[in-house]
Amino acid sequence: MTGADYAIDVRNLTKIYGGKPVVDHITLRVPRGKIYGFLGPNGSGKTTTIRMICGLLTPDAGEGTCLGFDLRKQSGKIKRRVGYMTQKFSYWEDLTIEENLAFVAEMFGLDRPQERVKSALHNMGLQDRAGQLAGALSGGWKQRLALAACLLHEPDLLLLDEPTAGVDPKARRDFWDQIHELADKGLTVLVSTHYMDEAERCHAVIYIASGKLVAEGSVSDVIAQAGLTTWTVRGEHLAVLMDELQKHPAVTTAAIFGETLHVSGSDPEALKVAIAPFRAKPGYAWAEAATSLEDAFIHFMARLPKEG
């Protein structure tokens, strides 16, 4: 791929607050027309990175382009071609859906405002609720309104900052179906999320922590980068078993998922030795399993240096 094939192409992006790097030499390349998941714990630097990419913040160091425009010299042009959906609903609750969209179109001086609003209502399935006050909407419908407003100016890149936080599973699934439809039409999407099922719907994922890039690639690539072997166990008192296993140096992570405990380690043979005494105990059902994306991320987080 050439540079023109990437919607986002940034190198060593850095932002410092209070003498501490919040984003620390991040290098990202996101191809046009793809959906990339942007993951990491709270405070990892995701939102700051997104704001630098879309021209809202100036990097303290680093360089690159967004949609072919220089981050430092052409931030105004970037803003006009990017749709940015913030984590917090930021539209006017005492206006109707249609009034909100019309006001956004007027505020940004868009041509064909009535046509754009009508199209947005139709594309987001909002026609029947056009006259409803935004403040009376559920989280899922507020999300649709916010996405419709982000798309009014027909952007080439969509930046979504935890867009489905607090939204029910059905609304989340509908939202992702819409995102894939948009990507099929050529829109590039960078979405930050804490949900592993959403990350697995992306073409690739980027994981950062403490402002640094930890892993990137397809879901299978990122799982492979963790280098883990994983066993699952079902039975009684899994919390007690987890505490015991976490004491063994061969166990990198142990975490309960519902009625199953996932136990992972970097050395397959050492892990077998670690779990052998517990496999011999009655009442447990053990099985070697494929490492999940969540197993990989728990592993990455466990390797982070402790603050304080």
CB contact at 8 A, 293 and 199: yes
Looking at residue 308, what is its pLDDT? 42
Whether pTM > 0.75 for this model: the answer is yes
Looking at residue 89, what is its pLDDT? 76
Task: Tell whether 181 and 271 lie within a shared domain.
Answer: no
The residue with greater pLDDT, 42 or 185, is 185
Task: Tell whether 174 and 282 lie within a shared domain.
Answer: no
pLDDT band at 169 (very low <50, low <70, confident <90, very high): confident
Task: Tell whether 199 and 274 lie within a shared domain.
Answer: no
Looking at residue 73, what is its pLDDT? 93
Is residue 308, in this structure, part of any structural domain at all?
A: no
Task: Tell whether 142 and 241 lie within a shared domain.
Answer: no
Per-residue pLDDT tens digits for 155-165: 999 999 888 87
Q: Which domain holds residue 273?
A: 228-290
Is residue 306, in this structure, part of any structural domain at all?
A: no
Q: Does 140 score more than 50 pLDDT?
A: yes
The CATH number covering residue 93 comes to: 3.40.50.300
Arithmetic mean of pLDDT over the chain: 91
Looking at residue 152, what is its pLDDT? 94
How many domains does the chain fold into? Answer: 2
The last residue of one of the domains, among 222, 244, 271, is: 222
Looking at residue 287, what is its pLDDT? 96
Is residue 303, in this structure, part of any structural domain at all?
A: no
Q: Does 307 score more than 60 pLDDT?
A: no
Per-residue pLDDT tens digits for 267-284: 999 999 999 999 999 999
Q: Does 94 score more than 90 pLDDT?
A: yes
The pLDDT of 10-31, averaged and rounded, is 95
Is residue 297, in this structure, part of any structural domain at all?
A: no
User: Which range, 35-49, 92-106, 136-150, is most confident?
Assistant: 92-106
